[in-house]
Amino acid sequence: MPDRFGHDGSDPYTRLVTAILAISVGNSRTQLGRFEDGAGELAASEHVANDSLDLIVERVAHHWEALHDEEAVVAIASVNNTVATPLTARIEGRLATSVVRVGHDLSPPISTRLDPQTKTGIDRLLGAVAAYRTLKQACVIVDCGTAVTVDFVDGEGVFHGGAIAPGAQMQLDALSRGTAALPKIEFALPEDDHFGRNTEQAMLQGVTNSIRGLVQRLVERYAEAQGAFPVVVATGGDAGLLLEHEDCVDRIVPDLILIGIAATVAAGLVDESADE
């Protein structure tokens, strides 16, 4: 049965039997994902706010117990080491097992065409791994979270980088912080109107359409560079709100980074097996 990408599951990385508990630590929340059949279909996932390490550890323990597999691998990737470092230590103590740090113990299995010495966010690389290994063609990965990233992977699976911009809430916070009159508001979709008819709605209209316009323009630029329109995959906490009905976006995959973590672990196991 095709998965959320419309893929039939024939990739060799989906056929390892080792269960994987994938953990992605973001700037404001941590995402957990349970893969009961290696890098195959995701069995369960959830998000937990980063303001409670106790709750994150409890939820990790819940998913670990649900795997019922002594050979399961726990893997964590992070763009927020302030949270990830103590979280890793606490998980190892609670589960009595070592945690694989993606980006430290294992590198995402993707080549890049970037400036020398560039340090790219692990989440961007993992999104690229997940998208390309599933689609097997040129693709754009849009991640709408605290920041918005729009990255390009070519038809050979090479990551070219892309663009980074403030996310929706960050833009709203900057408007409030940088002006005397604009209020502090939480991000939500604006009302279904062409015009923002009050200050709050005008701010929401501006932020929403700035991100939608950014994505559309960058997809067009990437298509111009490669001579054809790539498949566009969106992920991140705000992707559904911002991009669900945008014509330039082909698929929204909320668990893309978790899939990338599982694929990285699976690729590492394949390499280790080959070395033996």
Give tens-digit pLDDT for 117-151: 899 999 999 999 999 999 999 999 999 999 999 99
Give tens-digit pLDDT for 8-35: 444 444 444 579 999 999 999 999 999 9
Among residues 37, 51, 54, 123, which one is catalytic? 123
Is 255 a known active-site residue? no
For residue 5, which of 230, 235, 233, 158 has the smallest C-alpha distance? 233
Helix (H, G, I), strand (E, B) or coil at 188: coil
CA distance 196 to 206: 9
Task: Specify the pLDDT at position 39.
Answer: 63
DSSP string, 20-48: EEEEEE-SSEEEEEEESSTTSSEEEEEEE
Task: Specify the pLDDT at position 54.
Answer: 96
For residue 163, which of 139, 134, 141, 135 has the smallest C-alpha distance? 141
Same fold, 12-107+258-275 and 121-254: yes
Domain boundaries along the sequence of the chain = 12-107+258-275, 121-254
- Strand order across the 42-49 sheet: 42-49, 29-35, 20-25, 73-78, 99-101
Own/partner pairs, 175-180, CB within 8 angstroms, 24+ separation: 175/203, 175/207
For residue 14, which of 257, 267, 255 has the smallest C-alpha distance? 267
Task: Specify the pLDDT at position 37.
Answer: 76
Superfamily of structural domain 12-107+258-275: ATPase, nucleotide binding domain (3.30.420.40)
Residue 236 contacts residue 3 (beta carbons within 8 Å): no
Helix (H, G, I), strand (E, B) or coil at 129: helix
Topology of the domain comprising 121-254: Nucleotidyltransferase; domain 5 (3.30.420)
Task: Specify the pLDDT at position 272.
Answer: 52
Task: Specify the pLDDT at position 13.
Answer: 43
pTM: predicted TM-score of the whole model, two decimal places: 0.89
Give tens-digit pLDDT for 201-223: 999 999 999 999 999 999 999 99
